[in-house]
Structure 1
Amino acid sequence: MGTEDNLKQLPLDDLHKAANARFGGFAGWSMPITYPLGVMKEHLHTREKAGLFDISHMQLFDVAGPQAAALLSRACPLDASALQTGQSKYTFFLNDKAGILDDLIVTRLGDEHFMVVANAGNAAADEAHLRGVAKGFDCKIDALDRVFLAIQGPQAVNVLRDTGIAGTDLAFMNGFEPKPGWFMSRSGYTGEDGFEIGLPEADARVLVEKLFADERVAWIGLAARDSLRLEAGLCLHGHDITPDYDPVDAGLLWAIAKPVRETAGFIGAAALLAKIATGSVKKRVGLKPDGRQPVRTDAELFDADGNKVGLVTSGGFGPSAGFPVAMGYVSKELSALGSKVFAEVRGNRVPVDIHSLPFTPHRYHKG
């Protein structure tokens, strides 16, 4: 968080002001937190129709050249050469201890051409890290200056199709370049079907105007983006995953293919393999507090005897679930579904059940 004076402005800041957004600081940016619809209705609108999110604070890196795949396979626990053209993959930057520096989506756009989508709060560090690893590799990294929009929800595909946008036939976790300067993938951060589109500002303004000619579309702010992703059991870097957690602790080992682990050519491989061998002492879990009061980030978790056994890393109310939802880490012996722990909330110990993730079913496009 920063003061309003030193926060970066989104390229479409004027459109959000015209929509009467309420702004706040996030990852160095002045971001729309809510619109007049309000967080509850914005959340439900996305689950029912089509929500439009301005995610231009996130960073796109264009990686191209003869050794682009080799670079990404070193920088991430990923076999970039095995990706089909158009295929997107969820992956990470790890440090030497296998701690998660950031989570990313890498899309193969051509034989020697990839797009990397990184989180806003880590954009500068990610760029420095990637350029550092790239020394000695024959490839070029461009940090792109793009407006980045996400349209999410069950009507997103129909809205885009009716707008005449190419790419509505994409499979989930696939992406392409519809036209020069554009990048589009079928992906998102809500648990719903949807698309993310990076494009030049002038094109973005035309697209937004077209999208808002459709009554199914509403602006959705950062607050509802957070409640949507939390219900969907998706991690927020800096909270649910950090350099202090590795993919084993976080339950994200599924994102690292077994052959990639066995080849062990990525940064942090030795530490990750050692962790897999020894197992984790803590585990990321879903948390469902008793009653209606949410438990918030950084609330400490205790067992029935009052021993500290974990920490809440994300928490709030789940408008679609209809009850408070949270995620966090607990000691492995208390991580089984139905186990009970107690969260410290304003001096009281609130009973919390270990709950399956996600809290609401994913509705990604399958066909």
Structure 2
Amino acid sequence: MNRRTRRAATVRCATPAVLAIAGVLTVLIGCDAVRPPRRETATPTAPAPTAPTRSAAASPAPHSPAVAVGSSAHSMTVDGRNRTFRLYRPATLPMSAPVPLVVMLHGALGSARQAETAYGWNTAADRHEFVVAYPNGLDRFWAVSAGCCGPPAHDGVDDVTFISATVAAISAKLPVDPDRTYVAGMSNGGMLAYRLACETTTFAAIGVVAGKQLGQCPSPTPTSVIHIHGTADNLVPYDGRPGKLNNSGFGPFPIKIDGGPVPDQIDRWREVARCAAPEVRTAGAATTSAARCPAGRDVELITIAGAGHQWPGAPQSTAERLLGLDPPATELAATESIWRFFSTHPREG
């Protein structure tokens, strides 16, 4: 694999350069008109944490919180690269006991700021009292496999180590509960969430929207899964066909999304977890298939008939409106659905 560092030109949401590349990328990004997160603070560059990566998060920090209330920016060095993430700490969140942490991974060509403004996780954190982290992928992509996605995959970036280091860094500053540490992801970010469940013991549950598992995962850690997908998604197709932007993983911007139909992947997770037969219920266009598994581990698939590549329940972005693209599905709010699942699935044992 070519590990030369290549720096792609910065891509900004809803600019002519992006629109010239492909209008459909706006749906993949989930671009939103950037609204300044409230109470912005900055954190100086810090060295990478010494806690081991690819393992469970560090125990809650016993000292006073070292992160300001509100939204803050952070950076550290991982594998010789400067890596960054945003962190949101609700003003009313008590720090006298361990607190839940949700890591939200943006989609391809997205960013930490875009994910923070587009999907409503800060509002959910205020309401339900947890902390949210928004890591930044290099060149706005996540490396999930040799063929996906973008320059990080081409250059052999280790994003599993970066996300593990992010959790460790946050846990060193806030009293994070390792049994209530979760990861959610949109599209390319959802693919990385699956890889994190396969290769680390950090997360009690993962939430995936319009993503897929790439590669084999014969013995995942005891992780609960909630997956939300639209049947009309043409970028990460529900039925397993190659996506509209698929280039078989070649070139400096490789995009190879395979792995078969989404229901088949969910069935494999249920088989490994020794789940019971799923209970199926339908409400309008949304069908939920929920399987209960031993040790409190569950695997749930929510299918939205006719929905495309989107984060259900999110507001439609300015770029999407300008391009005349379909607005996000309203059958459910993905953020609330994922948090509801996370909140009832801490790690057991």
When normalised by structure 2's length, the TM-score is 0.26
Q: Choose between structure 1 and 2: higher strand proportion.
A: 1
Bigger Rg, which one = 1
